[in-house]
């Protein structure tokens, strides 16, 4: 099963470029991240993972990145 979602990351405005770099180049087992800063302090990311368990693990790991304050999952789709 593949889990895909859009996630809005709220980051400290002063750490936008650094947070974006860390989110997009983070090594996550079974998960891909494509991200872009939409306005200062907000990064939208598309996450694709091998299953919900890997998706949840990746999200928790990304929340631990420096500068990340909050994450809101906007849409999640699980397909076989």
pLDDT tens for residues 3-45? 999 999 999 988 768 888 888 876 677 788 888 999 989 999 9
Instruction: Copy the structure tokens of residue 21.
Output: 């770099």
Whose tokens are 């928790």? That residue is 60
Question: What is the reported pTM?
Answer: 0.84
* Euclidean distance between CA atoms 37 and 42, whole angstroms: 6
**Given this model, what pLDDT does residue 16 score?**
67
């Amino acid at each position: 099963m593949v889990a895909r979602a859009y996630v809005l990351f709220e980051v400290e405005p002063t750490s936008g470029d650094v947070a974006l770099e860390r989110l997009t180049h983070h090594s996550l087992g079974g998960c891909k991240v494509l991200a872009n800063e939409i306005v200062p302090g907000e990064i939208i990311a598309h996450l694709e993972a091998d299953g919900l368990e890997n998706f949840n693990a990746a999200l928790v790991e990304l929340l631990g990145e420096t500068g990340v304050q909050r994450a809101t999952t906007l849409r999640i789709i699980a397909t076989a």
